[in-house]
Amino acid sequence: MSSSPIRLIVGLANPGKEYEGTRHNAGAWFIHDLAQQSGIQMRFETKYHGWHGIINPACHLLIPNTYMNQSGQAVSACIHYLKLAPESILIAHDDIDLPPATIKLKFDGGDGGHNGLKDIIRHLNTKKFHRLRIGVGRPTYETIDYVLNPPSKSDKQKIDDALIRALTVLPLLLEGQISQAMQNLHTMGDV
């Protein structure tokens, strides 16, 4: 487990109005909540291939404006420009292996079939970064169709509640107290 303070939080998404409310954009929902809580405006930065903001002098936010399967382009550009180690980044993403009320922190590991993570691992040439896994539930039909559709109203409420819980451990993440943040988040449980 890395204990580096988190210096970049990336919310994975597909660009465009038609994808805003879809499950695949749950990572971006987290960044929007975080920016709103911090009172900042995200601005488009060409050099990062995405929407960027700073929530304190030491932590950057990014929503790639690339399609999901090209997320690594934006993440790579941002960490190289900012001279950040992969261990200091947190990737917030949708996870079909978790129910909608569940949110988990993880360090290292595979891509779990997630095309955004797959591309980030390929660009960074490492799996050693933090992930905020946002449960969106498992489909009963083809996965791609599922993640590219909006959740039900009740599932969206569960996801929103989980994102609020994730915001409560942010100060610990920014201080590098990753294990404590993980313990706090995971013991809050699902609502």
Q: Which helix (H) or strand (E) holds 32?
A: helix 26-38
- Do 123 and 82 form a contact (C-beta atoms < 8 A)? no
Q: Catalytic one among 24, 52, 60, 114?
A: 24
Question: Would residue 24 show up in a list of annotated catalytic residues for this protein?
Answer: yes
CA atoms within 13 A on the CB side of 85: 8
From the list 107, 103, 118, 138, the residue with the least C-alpha distance to 27 is 103
**How far are the Cα atoms of 19, 153, 184, 190 from residue 66, in angstroms, in the given order?**
12, 27, 33, 31
User: Any idea which residues carry the catalytic annotation?
Assistant: 24
